[in-house]
Amino acid sequence: MRAQALHSDVLVVTSALLQLNCVAVRAVGDEPPGEGETFVIDSPVLPEELQSLPPLLAQAQFPAPSGLLATHGDWDHLLGRLAFPGLALGCAESTARRLAARPGEPQRALRSFDEELAIDRSVPLGLGALQALPVPGRLDIADRELELYATGGHTDDGMALLVAWAGVLVAGDYLSAIEIPTVHGDGGIEAYLETLERLRAPIARVENVVPGHGPIMARERALELLEEDVAYLRALRERGEQAELPQGRQRPADKRLHEENVASIRGRA
């Protein structure tokens, strides 16, 4: 696990598996002086990483988290309660609907992942209380606020979060430099393209973009990658399996994802 401070109020923890990014955000209010609030967005994967998250935040002098947030409902973004049992999990209304419609799905997916890699967890995953957040919208944190943007295309649910005062966008499973876009949502390619266009404006307002998986990017690189993803998705829509993959994302794993994308769009035809 690797930790990186992007701002005095933003700490990114990257899991050793899946290059999954967990983001801790704090805001220290003026009244009363010194009091603050922390949210933890998404989660690392390994049990020892989750166990080390509370002392890591304490060492960084972040207030004890008052809530957890998830960018979307895939299992690997929902493990925060294994680190902070008892905290409510905030998510987009679309994610709350997804989790309610598919009870037990994240737990089954986590169990399958753990069995494949022989990972032993002493505590089962429980999602606990869900707080459904209106998206687009804003979420108060101390005397500041997070801006919430709807996402779709990768899945049918989700949100990106803008930490405007820190110049950071938490993008969820979009804008990853380590894999091509994957189209799983019912809205397909069009929903994914709409998400990318929606994220263009907040990207222009930040210094750093944190994807769900992969390296943190400066604004300029994130905008370049956005254009690469738009070009790939348009080519996928027009040429299917003949679409060219983005430069730097042409590994065997990306080719398998491309095959899945082609099968997905054929299934909708």
Q: How far is CA 187 from CA 16, 75, 193, in A?
A: 32, 21, 10
Give the model confidence (pLDDT) of 89-112 as tens digits: 999 999 999 999 999 999 999 999
What CATH number does the domain containing 232 carry?
3.60.15.10
Residue with tokens 């309610």: 100
Q: Return d(Cα 116, Cα 177) in angstroms, integer.
A: 26
If pLDDT is split at 50, 70 and 90, which confidence band does 60 have? very high
- Tokens 């010194």 identify what position? 34
Domain count, the chain: 1
d(CA 245, CA 239): 12
Render pLDDT for 127-158 as a digit per residue (tens, 0 to 9).
998 999 999 999 999 999 999 999 999 999 99
User: pTM higher than 0.85 for the full model?
Assistant: yes
pLDDT at 140: 96
Q: Which of 17, 71, 16 has its CA nearest to residue 40?
A: 71
pLDDT, tens only, 26-53: 998 665 555 789 999 999 999 999 999 9
For residue 61, the enclosing domain spans 2-268
CA distance 241 to 256: 11
